[in-house]
Chain A
Amino acid sequence: MAGAAFSESLTVTDREELVRLLDGVKRGDQAACRQVYLTWRPGVLRLLEGFAQLDADEREDLVQEVFTRAFRAVGNLKSPEAFDGWLLSIARNRGLSALARKASRHEVRERYAQEQDDAAELIPESARLELDISMVRRLIESLPEGPEKETVRLFYVEGELSAREIAERMGVGKSAVTMRLERFRARIRRQLMLDVLKRRWEP
């Protein structure tokens, strides 16, 4: 099995398994498609649960859409190791598009401007290597106690409640929770960039 979905890293054995599975998907082999679908479905669904504005039916529709798209485009994947992140970026973009459809026109344009399915990669490869679970944990630790930290803890660390359920529990609007999660992701990005740039100039 190709490891637990979204585990921190894939071992060599897992990599071989992943290559075999993705080759199967490219050939349209249903057993391989089924295994990939069932393995990654929970992570894709979880990502979409971070968009509090989407209800369960909408998330379910999007999951199907994400895999349809991914299976069709898997031939474009540069390396098997990139599969996790690639699949999740499809899911995030589909989620954002769905939010855009629900939002006002003004917001639609803004989102539209930020859609980035096929855009060039402006973030250096080295940045991705810096990104690991301990960096993210440190960042969560360093957040001041407050609603953002609590939201991040509930959604990412405990990983049980959907963003919509978190909004209900905390008694705030749905978009507030989505925004807190987005803000935290922005912090990770910033930290990533700072780490990379600093390292580059260190003697």
Chain B
Amino acid sequence: MSPHLDAARWTALQATRDDALLEHLASGCEACDAFLAALPGADGDIDRVLLSLAPRAPSTDELAWARFRRRQQQPARRSLVFAVAAALGLLVAGGLLWRAEPQVAVDPWTGLKGSGQDALELRAAVKGARGALTPIDDGQAVSSAAALVFQVRSPMAGPARLFIQRGDGVPVELTQLGLVQGAQELERGDEGLLGFSLAGERGPVSVWLVAAEVPMSVDTALEAIKAGGDAGVVVAKLRVDVTP
């Protein structure tokens, strides 16, 4: 058995004295340090104490404050609302995820660029224990025990990047993909469907797909997300609300 800390040992250690493990920890094992480093909590407190070693006076940078205020006062970018009913109605026969009935668009696709055939569309389904796929609606509540799989309809062939965003956080890239024109399930190379486990997620989670005709950098993709699309770059988003 590995002598290193894991979640179970960590919990046990809180309740029961284990001198061998304590000694091992005190020796400065890198694997165990890495486990402790990944434990949530205390980060902010450690930084607070570290920064107090050389305390800093309040800033007098009124310009920075003015910049911040300006940024706050910019109106929130209105989500674009598209009538995607027609596009959805046309979606490929046999597509696993697409609902047959057209949906009335009440802002289901924020950030869609263009409409109809020019639009990039992203939908998700929850993969059940036996592999059955249940389509989900944008914004739907989904259990954290579920895994998402995706279907996309792309207006063109080209590279794409998939991002995850928790709440209002900065989107973090999950993977890069190649898209073909038309409808397709997102796959990871030869490994089959690309799944995204919601384990450990909580609350609003957005998935962003950014596609282009030519390779783009992560920064370009993030810019496009911010701007709701860009020249030659299309963006699609879907949201789920992850429940315990």
A102 to B222, CA, bound (A): 12
**Complex alpha-carbon distance, A43 and B64, angstroms:** 14
- Is B39's CB within 8 Å of the partner chain A? yes
Whether A32 is near chain B, meaning CB under 8 Å from some CB there, is no
A88 located at the interface, meaning its Cβ lies under 8 Å from any Cβ of chain B in the complex: yes
The smallest C-beta distance from A61 to any residue of chain B, in angstroms, reads 10
> Is B55 in contact with A7, judged by CB distance below 8 angstroms?
yes
Residues of B within 8 A of A20 (CB): none
Contacts of B54 in A (CB 8 A): 156-160
- Could you list some 26 contacts between A and B, CB below 8 A? A4-B57, A5-B57, A6-B55, A38-B60, A41-B59, A41-B64, A47-B47, A84-B48, A85-B45, A85-B47, A88-B43, A91-B47, A92-B47, A97-B170, A101-B219, A102-B218, A105-B176, A109-B174, A114-B37, A115-B166, A123-B39, A131-B45, A133-B52, A156-B54, A194-B26, A200-B14
Q: Which of B36, B45, B200 contacts A193 (CB 8 A)?
A: B36
Those of B1-16 within 8 Å (CB) of chain A: 10, 13-14
Q: Does A54 contact B (CB under 8 A)?
A: no
Separation of A15 and B172 alpha carbons in the complex (Å): 36
A162 to B151, CA, bound (A): 45
Give residues 36-51 of B contacting A (CB, 8 Å): 36-51
Contacts of B203 in A (CB 8 A): 118
Interface residues in A46-98 (C-beta closer than 8 Å to B): 46-47, 60, 63-65, 67-69, 71-72, 84-89, 91-94, 97-98
Number of B positions contacting A (CB below 8 A): 62
Residue positions of B touching A, CB distance < 8 A: 10, 13-14, 17, 22, 25-26, 28, 32-34, 36-62, 64-65, 67-69, 71-72, 164, 166-170, 172-176, 200, 202-203, 218-219, 222
What is the interface of chain A mostly: helix, strand, loop, or mixed? helix
Q: Find chain B residues with CB under 8 A from A128 CB.
A: 42, 45
Q: Which residues of A contact B170 (CB under 8 A)?
A: 65, 94, 97-98, 101
Q: Is the CB of A97 within 8 A of B46?
A: no
Q: Which residues of A contact B169 (CB under 8 A)?
A: 69, 93-94, 97, 117
Interface residue total, chain A, C-beta cutoff 8 A? 84
Q: How far is the CA of A197 from the CA of B168 in the complex (A)?
A: 36
State which of B42, B167, B218 has its C-beta within 8 Å of the C-beta of A101: B218
Q: Inside 8 A of A122's CB, which chain B residues have their CB?
A: 10, 39-41
- State in angstroms the CA–CA spacing of A114 and B13 once bound together: 22
Q: How far is the CA of A116 from the CA of B69 in the complex (A)?
A: 28
Q: Contact: A201 with B51, CB < 8 Å?
A: no
Residues of chain A within 8 A of B40, CB atoms compared: 116, 119-123
Task: Tell me the bound Cα distance from A34 to B49 in angstroms.
Answer: 24
Shortest CB–CB separation between residue B47 and chain A, in angstroms?
Answer: 4
Contacts of A121 on B, CB cut-off 8 Å?
40-41
Q: Nearest A residue to B56 by beta-carbon distance?
A: A42
Residue from A67, A71, A118, A160 with most neighbouring chain B CB atoms (10 Å): A118
Residues A64 and B67 in contact in the complex (CB < 8 Å), given A6-B52, A137-B53: yes
Question: Could you tell me if B167 and A118 are in contact, using CB atoms closer than 8 angstroms?
Answer: yes
**Alpha-carbon separation in the docked complex, A102 to B170 (Å):** 13
Q: Whose C-beta in chain A lies nearest to the C-beta of B7?
A: A122
Roughly how many angstroms separate A62 CA and B28 CA in the complex, as a whole number? 33
A182 interface residue (CB < 8 Å to B): yes
Given the known inter-chain contacts A5-B58, A197-B22, please indicate yes or no for A89 contacting B44, CB distance below 8 A. yes
Contact A6 B14 (CB under 8 A): no
Q: How far is the CA of A98 from the CA of B169 in the complex (A)?
A: 11
Q: Does B58 lie within 8 Å of A42, measured CB to CB?
A: yes
Contact B42 A189 (CB under 8 A): yes
Tell me, in angstroms, the Cα distance from A8 to B45 when the chains sit together. 11
